[in-house]
Structure 1
C-alpha cells in the first residue's frame, strides 16, 4: 500500500475511533465514518473488505494499543505502583475532560453493545482488556494476588471512567484512585 493509501486508511480509523468513543458501535455508521474521514466510499471497502465489524475491530485494537503505550510510558516513569495508577487516572481524566467528556474508554461501549452478538468484536475487546490487565499485573509483580488485583484495578478504572463521563466530573476518578491506593498498600 502506498503512502496515500496508508493515509486514507489512517483517516478512516481515526474517524471511526472518534465516533465509537463518543457514540459506540451504533454511533459509528459507515456514512458518518466516510463524512468524518473525508475518504471516498470505495476506499472504505477497499481497506476494510470485512465491512463495519472489521473497521470497528481494527479501530478498537488501535485505540487500545495507544492507551497501552501511554500506560507503558507512565509505568516506566513511575516510582511505585501507586504512583503509576495515579498517573494513569490523571491522564485518563485529562483525556476525558479535554474531549468535552466524549472520550472515555475506546473499548467499553463496543464491548457492552457487541460482545454478545459479534464474536470477532468480542475477541478484540477481550484482547485489548487482556493487554491492559497484563500491564497492570507487570506493575504488581511479586504480589501473590497480582492477577486478581490487576482485574480489580482495571474494573475500578473502567467504572470510574463511566461515572466521570456521566457526571462530567473527574471526582469519580479521584475517589477510585484513593481506594486503589488503599488496596495497593
Structure 2
C-alpha cells in the first residue's frame, strides 16, 4: 500500500511539472497560475504544496530545469550524431522548428519567457534560467572545441537560435530559423 501511495505521489508530481511546463511555454510565468496548474495537472491543491513547499517559484524553477534538461539532452544527441558543427546547428534548428510548428507555435524555448519575465526580479528563477542556458552553451561548445573562439561561438549560436525562435513564434513561420541556419553555417565556415 505504501508503495502505491509513493508511486501515486510521484505521478502527481510529474503531472504538476508537465502542466507547469506546458503553461509556461504557451503563456509564460503569469500564464501558469497555480489554479491553471492544478486543473491541467488534475491534482488536488494540497498536492501542489506537498510536492512544492516553496510554492510557485519552486514549481517553476524545477519545471524550467526539467525542460532545460530535456532540450539539453536532445542538443547533446544532435551534436554527437552530426558529422560537423554546421550539420549540428542545422539539426538543432530543424528539431526546434519542428517542435515549435507542431505545437501550433506555442512551444518555442521553455526558458526564454520565464527569463524575460522574471530573471530581473526573482533570484531563484534567474538562477534556474542561467543554469539551463549554461548547460546548452556547454553542449554547443563541446561540439565546437578546437575552433578558435569556441566559447564566443557557442554563446553567439545560442543567442542566434533563441532570437530565431522568438521571431519564428511571432511570425508563425520557420523562415527565421532557416535564415539563422544559413548565417550560422557561414559563421562556422569562417572559423
> Which range, TM-score by smaller chain?
over 0.9
Please report the TM-score for the alignment, with normalisation by the length of structure 2: 0.96
Per-residue deviation, 1:7:
0.4
Asked if 1:122 corresponds to 2:126, the answer is yes
* 1:24 alignment counterpart: 28
The whole-number CA distance in structure 1 between the counterparts of 2:80 and 2:159 is 22
Per-residue deviation, 1:94:
0.3
* 2:145 alignment counterpart: 141
- Give the conservation status (yes or no) of the 8 Å contact 2:79–2:140: no
Q: Which moved more, 1:74-83 or 1:174-183?
A: 74-83
The whole-number CA distance in structure 2 between the counterparts of 1:66 and 1:111 is 17
Please report the TM-score for the alignment, with normalisation by the length of structure 1: 0.99
Give the alignment of 1:16-165 within 5 angstroms.
Answer: 16-165=20-169
The whole-number CA distance in structure 1 between the counterparts of 2:32 and 2:132 is 20
Per-residue deviation, 1:144:
2.2
The count of corresponding residues between Structure 1 and Structure 2 is 185
- Cα deviation code 1:50-108 (max 9, x no counterpart): 00000000000000000001011111211111001100000000000000000000100
* 1:10 alignment counterpart: 14
Gaps of 5+ in 2: none
Runs of 4+ residues over 2 Å off in structure 1: none
- Give the conservation status (yes or no) of the 8 Å contact 2:68–2:111: yes
Q: Say which SS state the counterpart of residue 79 (structure 1) adopts.
A: coil
Gaps of 5+ in 1: none
- Give the conservation status (yes or no) of the 8 Å contact 2:78–2:88: yes
